Amino acid sequence: MPKLKKLEISEELDGRIKRLLDSMSDKSLKSNRKRLAKLAAGLSDSKLDKEGLLYWDLPKLAVGDYTVKSKFEPGSLFYSTDGHTDCIFEVISAQSGLLDIMQYRIGVYGFRRKYGISTTSPFANGARPVTEAERKKYLRAEHFFKQGRRFNEFRRGDIVFDSSRGTYPYFELIDPSSSPHSVKPGELKLVCTVENRGDKRWPT
C-alpha cells in the first residue's frame, strides 16, 4: 500500500496555527479535541482554500502532523530592504532556516553573494515575491553584471540589439551619450561589449 503523503503547508499558515495554540492553556493543549476546536474556529475557509486544504485536514494540523514548505525556493526572486537600500535577491539555497542569496542592490547597481541569512531575520521576514517588472530588472542587471558593466551601461563600440530596427536589429553603438537609444536603455540589449569584440583586438 503506498505511503500517504504528509500535509505540506506554508510558513504563514504554520505561524497562524502556532499562535492559535499558544493562546490556549497548558491543560487545554493536552486535549486533541480542544486543539481541533480551536483551529476550526480560528482558521477561515479562505485560509484553508489558499493552502488547498479541507476541513478533514484539521485533525492533522491540530496534532502537528504536517511539514512546512519554505517560501524561499531555490531560484525564486524576492524584493526586500537591506538597511536603507532596496534590493532584489535570488535564492541560491535554503537549508535549516538559512539562506544563501545573490543580491542586487537597486540604485547601488551592485551584486553580492550573501550567506547564512536567517529566514526569521527582518530582511527575510520583510521579503515579498517580485513583480514581473522587478523580475525583468533583476535579469537585465544580472546580464550587464556578468559582462562587467553597471546596469544599462553602454560604451562606444558595443554591439547592441534593438528589436524596433526591424531588418538590422544588431549594430555598433557609436556614441552612447548622444544616441537616440540612450533615452530608452531598457529597450536596448547589450550583445557584446567592445572589450570582448574580436575585431577590435587587431590593428587595422
Q: What is the pTM of this model?
A: 0.67
In the prediction, which pLDDT does 52 show? 86
Looking at the domain assignment, is residue 17 inside a domain? yes
Looking at the domain assignment, is residue 153 inside a domain? no
Cβ neighbors of 115 (< 8 A, separation 6 or more) are 98, 100
Buried b (16+ CB within 10 A) or exposed e, 83-106: eeeebbbbbeebeeeebbbbbbbb
Total domain count, the chain = 3
Say whether both 45 and 90 belong to one domain: no
Looking at the domain assignment, is residue 137 inside a domain? no
Answer for the pair 179, 173: CB distance below 8 angstroms, yes or no. Answer: yes
Say whether both 19 and 63 belong to one domain: yes
* Enclosing domain of residue 169: 159-200
Looking at the domain assignment, is residue 15 inside a domain? yes
Three-state secondary structure call for residue 165: helix
In the prediction, which pLDDT does 130 show? 94
* Of 36-40, 101-105, 164-168, minimum mean pLDDT range: 164-168
pLDDT value at 183 more than 50: no
- What are 62-113's pLDDT values in tens digits? 888 888 877 888 999 999 998 788 999 999 998 878 899 999 998 777 899 9
pLDDT value at 21 more than 90: no
Query: What cell does 165 get?
Result: 530596427
